[in-house]
């Protein structure tokens, strides 16, 4: 993978993440969003498919690439908590008896909104980390292929 190809792939992956986050924010705003637009597992979204696939194959040896892993997994863990907060169907009998639907829905939304603040902060960290990867690749010479430590990288 040469510099141009690497940068294009990184930028496409970054764009995929930004779209995913926008769908998550829309969900909190009350917009109906299908589950396939914001998958819960970090290996199922477009960014995750790139990161764990072709990205890892060609850039996985770079420290800036490896640094993406932790915030990315945490991001999806927080999103899973948001999803569960909004779709909690296992409320206690007491909660159902002593609070009305409007109150329960308000509490769910408040919980999800608080988690969304956390998700956005983690997303910003992730975007900065992706930016570091992008900067590292930008330092490659124009025709240079990624520095290889693995002979099976094409």
Q: CA nearest 28: which of 116, 120, 92, 151? A: 116
In a domain, 61, yes or no: yes
Q: Rounded CA gap, 154 and 133, in Å?
A: 19
**Which CATH number goes with the domain that contains 20?**
1.20.120
Residue 91: pLDDT band (50, 70, 90) is: low
Q: What is the DSSP letter of 146?
A: P
- Taking a C-beta distance cutoff of 8 angstroms, is the pair 24, 117 a contact? no
In a domain, 60, yes or no: yes
In a domain, 77, yes or no: yes
Residue 153: pLDDT band (50, 70, 90) is: very low
In a domain, 94, yes or no: yes
Q: Which domain holds residue 130?
A: 3-138
In a domain, 107, yes or no: yes
Q: Where are the alpha helices (DSSP H) in 29-68?
A: 46-50, 56-59, 63-66
- Alpha carbon distance, N-terminus to C-terminus of the chain: 7
Mean pLDDT to the nearest integer, 64-91: 88
Mean pLDDT to the nearest integer, 8-20: 95
> Which of helix, strand or coil describes residue 45?
coil
Most confident of 80-89, 106-115, 118-127, 138-147: 118-127
Write down the pLDDT at residue 43.
86
139-143-144-146 Cα dihedral, nearest 10 degrees: 90
In a domain, 104, yes or no: yes
Domain count along the chain: 1
In a domain, 149, yes or no: no
- Give Cα separations from 83 to 20, 98, 116 (angstroms): 14, 24, 10
In a domain, 145, yes or no: no
Which of the two residues, 120 and 39, has the higher pLDDT score?
120
């Amino acid at each position: 993978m040469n510099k141009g190809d690497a940068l294009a792939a990184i930028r496409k992956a970054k764009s995929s993440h930004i779209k995913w986050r926008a769908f998550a924010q829309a969900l909190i705003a009350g917009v109906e969003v299908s589950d396939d637009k914001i998958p819960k597992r970090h290996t199922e979204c477009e960014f995750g498919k790139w990161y764990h696939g072709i990205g890892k194959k060609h850039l996985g040896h770079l420290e800036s690439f490896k640094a993406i892993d932790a915030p990315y997994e945490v991001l999806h863990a927080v999103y899973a908590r948001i999803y569960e907060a909004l779709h909690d169907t296992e409320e206690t009998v007491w909660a159902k008896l002593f609070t009305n639907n409007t109150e329960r829905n308000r509490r769910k939304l408040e919980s999800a909104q608080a988690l969304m603040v956390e998700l956005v902060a983690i997303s910003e960290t992730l975007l900065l980390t992706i930016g570091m990867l992008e900067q590292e690749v930008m330092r490659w010479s124009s025709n240079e292929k990624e520095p290889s430590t693995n002979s099976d990288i094409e």
